[in-house]
Structure 1
């Protein structure tokens, strides 16, 4: 197995995501850093910090020069960051020492790498958000269409009360909707970093804040208004949201693992995974991936909880490099698999309805106890229904039938009620459709 299943040749169809993976390639990282370096030089040239002609030259060159990522390996191994080796390689490739001397003027490695990460995250989060919006549309359609399709609600693995398939789609959908809202709120806050070696910006020029604001505008990122070298709130929020995306997918995944069981079979997925020895098997691969990704993301996110010490913290920063790509890829894959699973979903409506009234029909116990409580104190009503439920089990007779025989005047008209389930389903469908497009634009790093 590859060190990471996300880019494994064997597992790339199971866990991999080529579209997102390109944003976390070495080539994309270098390209993003070069975009930052070029925009910084052009900004400083316009503001008179460096010669304007050099700023324009460097900005153009950063769009044209090609750097081999492998050529930076020795430098990164020695220096712990890629910018020193990258800047050295760029200066050599420029073959224009009069301009090359102004490259990376006054900034520090973390400024360039963090800003480059924000560029890539902007694209990545827009992709994830778009996928989740697709899933929301499918969930809204299902919730509305199946709002009154009877289905047993389950608690603690037991049949509980009658509900609807649409209400379950809403239960899957609300966490997805919240994740979309959180992604939409985070993307505009992805901020440029430009603070210099110790966060003071002292070598950037007479007005470092103006340079930072202009660089933010040039890159289409937010201006944080301060140094965030050691304040990693944006990274921890990213981790929390990526984990939330996977947990939203895992809610559907966990329920699908139960409801597609061969002894339940209330839901089916169009085609399942094959067994090496059991020809009858249709294993729920997609739902299993959703659950596994949530477990992975929740564990990985915990590594980012420690505060960064001093003005800059190498160990904390390195930890982000180990964790962030996997978190984003997990969220993106989860969003993709969720959408695919919903597109394949096939409910057995007759089977779901039959389960509600299947002997001994104990799912009606709550409604029966409340109906009986109109004739006697509620504790006594609950005890009586519990007694009759035991008899229904032993005799394999429907509980409503036994209660009706014991209390012939009892009003049993609400046994078939789905309560608020249809309304819940339709409320979610309305909310999901109000989300809108929500997709953002990013810089092309390919």
Structure 2
């Protein structure tokens, strides 16, 4: 019986493969083999014992069905893996899981999974950044109305709007790259963190095991890796989800018929928007992104609680972490893929953007105020002058320019200055420079992060 929507509706195969039951078993067995290799290297166990353990792991002799069968009787998931591995070994039989505890295997395996998940998310972020760079280059001078409080504001460019998005994603990539060394951490130090069962070479064995697994060793731990590391990982993914929801919400708003400046792709030949209203073209992709992003952020709450343990460890983190890390990782990859598709195929209605800019002189009130101030009128007086003219224009249903002239603006600036102050194309400020700066920053970050992809 399948219950979770991740099994049949959400998530992509590659990321789900990282957290699948089969892959989890494979990684945990690889941790046991890496441990045996490290112990053999430091003469804690015989070399032929390590070779035997590695042989069994490499030949895929330990089957998930057998592990579940054992667990059904002994009620311990990790020990079931240990027993299943042991029964397939010969010379290594007495040295499987030597000197360690369950969470040495569990947490080191989780570090490997997080490593693989971060690689996928890093690739997603870079792909998204490249799409945004392309769109910015194409829309650097695409003028549109800015909006604050849901109302028309001074003009901007669509490229500037996208540069804000690109800058956010660039920082997310920077955070994820910088946090790798703190997040991808395992441990081999026993049930209370002392490593006593491994003797004088305990720290060396931990370091060697983690080196083999390509993860970092925990500095100081109890029975488990410190959960501030997992919380940081989920926090970064949560932050990404906030940005993606923000972007998708903007697309939804700009797609509203009364705005009609941007819309997501709709396959008119076969896509259905509504079961009752056949004419509908709903922003379902953007809405789906928003919905899943809200779910993503909920999973960090139980992980905060998992960071609080009795003494050197209890079991209160165990069940919840079977959800928090896998579900957040899978859904983050999912919404990133959907965001990539959303912006890759986005429709930009440049004519409607321009129409709204041309038809609303009020968006130039800031420009007029600054022009007056630059030509001798005290700034606060200029603000009040333009405010009064604006309110009169609303009440008398006349144009902003007409109201300004009636209010006597030509006493302070000439007609040419007024026309320039009302020209939206002359009031996009440093939008182009911001666009180019965001692109440069993103491209530099991509170059830096690409080297981390397979570390």
User: Please, what TM-score do these two structures have when normalized by structure 1?
Assistant: 0.91
- 1:318, distance to aligned residue in structure 2 (A): 3.0
Distance 2:61 2:181 in 1: 30
- 1:367, distance to aligned residue in structure 2 (A): 1.8
Structure 1 range deviating more: 379-388 or 135-144: 379-388
Partner of 1:265: 260
Partner of 2:19: 24
- Of 210, 213, 218 in structure 2, the residue corresponding to residue 224 of structure 1 is 218
Which secondary structure does the structure 2 equivalent of 1:277 belong to? coil
Give the conservation status (yes or no) of the 8 Å contact 2:56–2:88. Answer: no
Partner of 2:136: 143
- 1:442, distance to aligned residue in structure 2 (A): 5.9
Residue by residue over 1:117-166, the C-alpha shift from the partner in whole angstroms, topping out at 9 and shown as x without a partner, is: 11111111111111110111111122232122111111111111101101
Distance 1:56 1:67 in 2: 16
Which runs of no fewer than 5 residues in structure 1 stay unpaired? none
Residue by residue over 1:288-332, the C-alpha shift from the partner in whole angstroms, topping out at 9 and shown as x without a partner, is: 122222211222112222333211231024322221111111211
Distance 2:260 2:338 in 1: 20
Residue by residue over 1:268-293, the C-alpha shift from the partner in whole angstroms, topping out at 9 and shown as x without a partner, is: 22216621122222211221122222
Give the conservation status (yes or no) of the 8 Å contact 2:218–2:225. Answer: no
Partner of 1:239: 234
Higher helix share: 2
- 1:78, distance to aligned residue in structure 2 (A): 7.8
- 1:80, distance to aligned residue in structure 2 (A): 6.9
- 1:20, distance to aligned residue in structure 2 (A): 0.4
Partner of 2:286: 287
Distance 1:344 1:281 in 2: 19
Give the conservation status (yes or no) of the 8 Å contact 1:297–1:327. Answer: yes
Structure 1 range deviating more: 365-374 or 128-137: 365-374
Partner of 2:317: 316
Distance 1:441 1:162 in 2: 39
Distance 1:79 1:178 in 2: 47
Which secondary structure does the structure 2 equivalent of 1:318 belong to? coil
Distance 1:217 1:147 in 2: 47
Distance 2:70 2:242 in 1: 39
Distance 2:382 2:259 in 1: 31
Which secondary structure does the structure 2 equivalent of 1:249 belong to? helix
Partner of 1:434: 444
Partner of 1:408: 410
Partner of 1:152: 145
User: Please, what TM-score do these two structures have when normalized by structure 2?
Assistant: 0.89
- 1:73, distance to aligned residue in structure 2 (A): 4.4
Structure 1 range deviating more: 134-143 or 225-234: 225-234
Give the conservation status (yes or no) of the 8 Å contact 1:37–1:104. Answer: yes
Structure 1 range deviating more: 144-153 or 407-416: 407-416
The alignment status of 1:328 with 2:296, answered yes or no, reads no
Residue by residue over 1:339-393, the C-alpha shift from the partner in whole angstroms, topping out at 9 and shown as x without a partner, is: 111111221112111111224x321122222333445443333233223222322
Give the conservation status (yes or no) of the 8 Å contact 1:230–1:311. Answer: no
Give the conservation status (yes or no) of the 8 Å contact 2:22–2:64. Answer: yes
- 1:174, distance to aligned residue in structure 2 (A): 1.5
Aligned pairs for 1:198-217 within 5 A: 198-217=192-211
- 1:396, distance to aligned residue in structure 2 (A): 3.9
Which secondary structure does the structure 1 equivalent of 2:187 belong to? coil
Give the conservation status (yes or no) of the 8 Å contact 1:65–1:93. Answer: no
Tell me how many residue pairs correspond in the alignment.
435
Give the conservation status (yes or no) of the 8 Å contact 1:182–1:241. Answer: yes
- 1:248, distance to aligned residue in structure 2 (A): 1.9
Structure with the larger RCO, 1 or 2 (CA within 8 Å, 6+ apart)? 1
Which secondary structure does the structure 2 equivalent of 1:152 belong to? strand
Partner of 2:37: 42
Which secondary structure does the structure 1 equivalent of 2:391 belong to? helix
Partner of 1:4: 4
Partner of 1:171: 164
Which runs of no fewer than 5 residues in structure 2 stay unpaired? none
Give the conservation status (yes or no) of the 8 Å contact 2:42–2:201. Answer: no
Aligned pairs for 1:160-199 within 5 A: 160-189=153-182, 190-199=184-193
Distance 1:156 1:80 in 2: 57
Which secondary structure does the structure 2 equivalent of 1:270 belong to? coil
Residue by residue over 1:194-230, the C-alpha shift from the partner in whole angstroms, topping out at 9 and shown as x without a partner, is: 1111111111232100001111111111123333625
